[in-house]
Structure 1
Amino acid sequence: MTLAAPPVITIDGPTASGKGTVAMRVAQALGWHALDSGALYRLTALAVTRAGGDGGDEAQAAAAARALDVVFRDGGIWLDGVEVGNEIRREAISNLASRVAAYPAVRAALLERQRAFRTAPGLVADGRDMGTVIFPDAPLKVFLDADVNERALRRHKQLKDKGFSAKLSDLLEDLRLRDARDRDRVHAPLVAAADAVVVDSSRMGIDETVRKVLDLWSARGLAG
């Protein structure tokens, strides 16, 4: 008798759509694990810069992805024993992460590492290809979207709250470029899965969005 795999809720969407916060809150509500897949690409980008690279070498980026010494614990992220949760949120690292994420070799290097997060009692995974590539059998797939202007405002506030300076117009342009890069890449582009529920959070707060996802899960009549 084959044991059923632990359930997964995937939350995909563009940068600053709120998917990371929503995924964490949904996971907490259900008592499940959470996977911030974007953090793995940001960590890869950080490792590349620490090795003196600029993201232009696919083989180097893939090697960095394979060699990541990462620990996720108590809301913190450690790379090679050093807490880097704030460092990987810098815009320079975010932009580089979007670039290296387009490399097929990098995505292949991180594929099984991401799938390994699927453990009991369940997993909430957020990213850009969670429902299309990493967990295509997930019983609930959410594509969380929001207007790009609203996302720029959210990112601006997020960076200011963390003590980083940022110009709103620059953030808006960066988001538009990143959206195009993520949606147009050949391998694992940012797209809603055919069976995903699209949720527009442009005019929804975090609490309302979390409740929407939890209601979608409850509506499926599955244990949580």
Structure 2
Amino acid sequence: MPDLRRRAVDLRERMDDPAADPALLTRTYEQFATVNRLIAGWHDTYKERIRPLLSAETPSTLLDVGCGGGDIARALARWANEDGLQLQVAAIDPDPRAMDYAESVPNPDGVIFLRALSSQLVERAQRFDFVISNHVLHHLSATELTDLLIDCELLCRRVALHSDIRRSPGAYLAFSAVTVALFHGSFIREDGLISIRRSYTTAELRVAARREWEVESQAPYRNLLTYTGPVAD
């Protein structure tokens, strides 16, 4: 097992390579939905942090930053619809390959996908009730992380939620064991192990985050970085 005492910030995930094999990349996007259902915990986060603030009469808006294949955005829109609540979901990613895949998947709940950066939405003075991301933080440099959090403070009216992996030997061993016989023909296993090595411990993320943000440790092996906007209730 590699040394997990420090973030392996020099490692890069294969799917981030502009020359990544298109078939393997598409398969990776396809498998994200399964991986996230297993480890990301967004249904619980939706029920605890988002659903109580939604209404059946008044629409709310949500932005998913760095949405990848769009499975989390589509799931949030679906859950709100199933609960009879109004939630308009937009999802952004700067990678055209991610957008091509996201827009190719059935989208019955009307998620809006845009190739964009959060800073571009700030420039347009756009605002959302909720701003979220999944497995984005560990990709960013220290400066990029700060810039993203500033953008989210400007974009968010109510709550911002960034969910990411929490680095630990247990996380590495568990992901390695679960994926050894699964997720073939994609970058899931290799990139997932790199992601764990690049991710923050809870203590590290508290140091890296801006003062206005709170960091919570979640099971299994996750951090949730949260911000409360000016319209909290």
TM-score category (smaller protein): 0.3 to 0.5
TM score, norm. by length of structure 2: 0.36
Answer 1 or 2: higher relative contact order, Cα 8 Å, separation at least 6: 1
TM score, norm. by length of structure 1: 0.37
